[in-house]
Amino acid sequence: MKHLPHLALFFSGLLTGFGSSAQPGSVDPTFDPGSGPDGRVFVTSMQGDGKVLIAGDLGQVAGIPRNKIARLNADGTLDTTFDPGTGPGAFNVTCITEQPDGRILVGGGFPSFNGTSSSMIVRLNPDGSVDPGFDTGLGADWIVFAIALQPDGKILVGGNFDTFDGLPRSGVTRLNDDGSQDLTFSPGSGLGTNGPAKTINAFALQPDGRIVIAGQFSSYDGTARNCIARLNADGSLDPTFDPGSGAANGDIRDMVRQSDGKLVIAGGFTHYNGVSRPRFTRVNGDGSLDVDFSTGDGPDSFVLALALQPDGRILLGGFFDSYDQVVVRDVARVHPDGTLDGAYGSIPGAFGLDNGIYDIVLQVDGKLIIGGLFSEFDGTPRNNVARLEGGGSTSVDGVASVQEPLRAWPNPTSDALMVAGAISGTILDLQGRAMGAFTKSTTIDVSSLASGSYVLRTDEGRAFPFVKE
């Protein structure tokens, strides 16, 4: 039952993100990292217990040595119970994903971690030590930029590598829980080069097992696909997802999947399938451009990170000074139709960030963790990491306390949950990621989920936390 404290914290957060009087998008004074990390923060990742993993060019946090990776408590202070030792040495961490059991998958450009050989990917125990039970053999021959956890516990790995554990795997592979390569996943010739590089920066998992990949590439297994493609569960290309000429003149840096199956993408591109869509747009479930998503002139420079609120509004982080010719600095929120949300931003008379954002992650209460290269926000000192107010009904579940509670049994369960009446909705992990979906069901199959803590969320917004044994 070790997951229940995390679950209680998560569920309490579902009911507390309402009616905040703080200015949405202003700095949250209750999250205070002190002198903070002493270098750029490239990665932010929320744990199920409310703690925050950060990684980047850091050598210390609040004066305490932490090489490249650290964990913060919910109030922003350094969590000294997480000690990665020498970490990845002189090399960087580029992605972090927590498993339901609390162990942490870390990817980057490192040949070892805390003295243990682990080529470009490693799994850490909750205390930061290397998990010796995760063995990837020779690992990746170049940098890992993206890791995604499937509902069955298998691990998708993307980057700009050519081989993994000695096998040809151009840009993408899938691992079993022990780190061995899943040989049922075959990408064929994988990614084709686009300009100087080929890489996967982001995954989006569909409830039916198909996988959308995004990054910088010109083809997949010999078929033209510019920076975005969809794969079948076995790694083969899904030809029914056709982006046309795709994202042009730049890469896709991040991608989030909406509950309706549409995909929000952002990066350095200027066009999508020949239509001007600077750096930010939305794609239909078949890969075509969503023409109803209107961004105008969009961001004036790179967008590096996205987060999706349950109410459909979208948060952007990057190195931009305006959105559709309206001055906004490096962080913005847009409505579900793509127009700028003018209610989100700095307090009147303040300027926001003094530099840009590399990554963002949304908390269950609707507040936003940002990591980047900055020293202050609205005049408040914040070195490279900060938390912004959410405001309004922005919590991960958006569950109103006046709703009839959802009840399901048994809990914990090993295979299925029963409910009194047929419901439709989504299964979420404690980071708000969709792990599966159900439609008009009274029996919800959870047998394929890895052991851990999850939440059932119905389409009308009710929620039920449960433990999968």
CATH number where 467 lies: 2.60.40
Q: pLDDT band at residue 351, thresholds of 50, 70 and 90?
A: low
Instruction: Among 362, 388, 414, identify where a domain stops.
Output: 388
pLDDT value at 20 more than 80: no
Q: Tell me, what's the pLDDT at 13?
A: 43
Please, where are the H alpha helices in 168-209? none
Same domain, 345 and 409: no
Last residue of a domain, one of 388, 417, 452: 388
Examine the pLDDT at 70 and tell me if it is beyond 80.
yes
Q: Are 203 and 227 found together in one domain?
A: yes
Together in a domain, 292 and 155: yes
Task: Indicate if 54 and 27 belong to the same structural domain.
Answer: yes
- Could you tell me if 169 and 104 lie in one domain? yes
Name which of 129-138, 149-158, 170-179, 404-413 the model is least confident about: 404-413
Average pLDDT over residues 198-213: 95
Mean pLDDT computed over 373-401: 74
Residue 422 pLDDT: 78
**pLDDT the model gives residue 415:** 86
Assess whether pLDDT exceeds 50 at residue 242: yes
Furthest CA-CA distance within the chain: 57
Number of H helices, E strands in the chain: 1, 42
* pLDDT at residue number 402: 36
Domain around 200: 22-388
Q: What is the mean pLDDT of residues 413-429?
A: 82
Provide the pLDDT confidence category of residue 406 given band limits of 50, 70 and 90: confident
- In this prediction, residue 1 has a pLDDT band, given cuts at 50, 70 and 90, of very low
**If you average pLDDT over every residue of the chain, what do you get?**
88
User: How many domains is the chain partitioned into structurally?
Assistant: 2
Q: What is the pLDDT of residues 94-147, one digit of tens each?
A: 999 999 889 999 999 999 999 999 999 999 999 999 999 999 999 999 999 999
pLDDT band at 404 (very low <50, low <70, confident <90, very high): low
Can you give the pLDDT at residue 10?
A: 42
303 and 331 co-located in one domain: yes
- The pLDDT, as a whole number, for residue 467 is 84
Q: Which of 349, 369, 388 is the endpoint of a domain?
A: 388
- Sheet of strand 121-124: strand arrangement: 93-98, 104-108, 121-124
Residues 302 and 182 grouped into a single domain: yes
Whether 402 and 327 share a structural domain: no
218 and 337 co-located in one domain: yes
Average pLDDT, stretch 281-305? 96
The answer on 429 and 368 residing in a single domain is no
User: Which pLDDT band, with edges at 50, 70 and 90, does 311 fall under?
Assistant: confident
Q: How many CB atoms lie within 10 A of CB 386?
A: 28
Distances (CA, A) of 410 to 10, 128, 414: 19, 33, 9
pLDDT digits (tens, 9 = 90+) for 21-55: 578 999 999 999 999 999 999 999 999 889 999 99
For 9-23, 85-99, 274-288, 333-347, which range has the lowest pLDDT when averaged over its residues?
9-23
Give the pLDDT band (50/70/90) at residue 405.
Answer: low
36 with 66, same domain: the answer is yes
Partners of 272 in the beta sheet? Answer: 247, 275
pLDDT over 70, % of the chain: 89
**Mean pLDDT, residues 216-245:** 97
Q: Enumerate residues 6+ apart whose C-beta is below 8 A from 286.
A: 240, 241, 242
Specify the range with the lowest mean pLDDT, choosing from 71-75, 77-81, 207-211, 288-292.
207-211
8 and 82 together in one domain: no
3-state DSSP call for residue 319?
A: coil
Q: Tell me, what CATH number does 206's domain have?
A: 2.130.10.10
Helical segments of 108-160, H only: none
